[in-house]
Amino acid sequence: MITNSNEYCSYCQQSSYASVRSTWARAVLNKIENDRCLKNIDRNKWYRLSRSDLLHNEYRERFYEFNEDEDTTQFLKQSEEKSDNIPIQIFNSLLTTLLTLFITRTSANGLLSRGRMFVYSTTQFKTLLDIDSHEESQFTSLLDIGAGDGSVTERMSSVFKKVYVTELSPIMQWRLSTSGYTVLDTDHWGDSTFDIITCLNVLDRCENPLSLLKQIRNHLTPRTGRLIVSLVLPFKPYFEYNNNHRPNESIQIEGDLPEEQINSLLLNIFQPLGFYLKKLTRLPYLCEGDIERSYYFLSDYIFVLEML
């Protein structure tokens, strides 16, 4: 029985500490189970279409199948090592919870250098653009829209003489500028045109995706320019920077399966805006893990588009 207030406070503290220890213990146990599941995944399936028969013939002919390369394997290994550092993971989790009371989760991750992303390796990027690794690239300028912390930009930057980026998060903008990239206003890019514009996992996370595509069209180098779009399918839009998390503009996509949605995107969204498919592929969209698991992944579909 608790007989006085001091004893009561002591009891509460002990209960609180026990609860925290129990929470972290469960998280570690969950991580063991989640990582066991990750090790049993057939990672070759990350790169294959599940229902290629549903794609229109002309799109299926433009599909390029990659496989896991050295850079991808290295990213996964580093993610596992980082996730296994439990004290650091606990500290980051607590600090992130505190920071998200004042700033977005994206900004909090940028401040703590957490949650780095991986879409493709430099070699895979060059393959998408048909760039010979032994020759100088014909493309000189890159605009990476929604560049985040620049971890994906970094894998593309060596190909170009000039690299420009956009990003909504002020903290991410700061990180990008310290990496030497030219940070542009998200809505105004001046009179510049760009040889390559990348829009990686942005159309389902921005407020006005159709207006963005029109803006891209007006700033892509005529005839030789390329637009690379990556999307997680099935399509599920979410905008982080307003209260209801819904975009102002909606992209109407038909079909439930990824291949059906690819057909709809190309026929009903990209082609009416003047973009035509040059190459299509599927890659894992990877993210560094945390105390719950070594890494996270989603299925990314990559469209290399040109204007005719």
Q: Are residues 72 and 178 in the same domain?
A: yes
Mean pLDDT of 218-222: 95
Per-residue model confidence as pLDDT tens digits over 134-168: 677 789 999 999 999 999 999 999 999 999 999 98
Mean pLDDT of 265-285: 97
Position 7 confidence tier, pLDDT thresholds 50, 70, 90: very low
Residue range(s) defining the domain that contains residue 73? 52-307
Give the CATH number for residue 234: 3.40.50.150
Q: What is the mean pLDDT of the chain?
A: 87
Q: Are residues 170 and 28 in the same domain?
A: no
Q: Are residues 130 and 22 in the same domain?
A: no
Model pLDDT, residue 13: 43
Position 93 confidence tier, pLDDT thresholds 50, 70, 90: confident
Q: In what order do the strands lie in the sheet with 141-145?
A: 117-118, 275-288, 295-307, 226-232, 196-200, 141-145, 162-165, 182-183
Identify whether 45 is part of a domain.
Answer: no
Position 99 confidence tier, pLDDT thresholds 50, 70, 90: low
Q: Are residues 80 and 177 in the same domain?
A: yes
Per-residue model confidence as pLDDT tens digits over 25-42: 676 677 778 888 899 999
Q: Are residues 244 and 109 in the same domain?
A: yes
* Number of separate domains in the chain: 2
Identify whether 240 is part of a domain.
Answer: yes
Identify whether 227 is part of a domain.
Answer: yes
Q: Are residues 158 and 243 in the same domain?
A: yes
Distance CA 207, CA 187 (A): 11
Distance CA 75, CA 117 (A): 9
Compute the CA torsion angle 50, 57, 55, 221 (nearest 10 deg): 110
Identify whether 46 is part of a domain.
Answer: no
Identify whether 184 is part of a domain.
Answer: yes
Q: Are residues 36 and 158 in the same domain?
A: no
Percent of the chain predicted with pLDDT > 70: 88
Q: Are residues 145 and 107 in the same domain?
A: yes
Q: Are residues 10 and 123 in the same domain?
A: no
Identify whether 289 is part of a domain.
Answer: yes
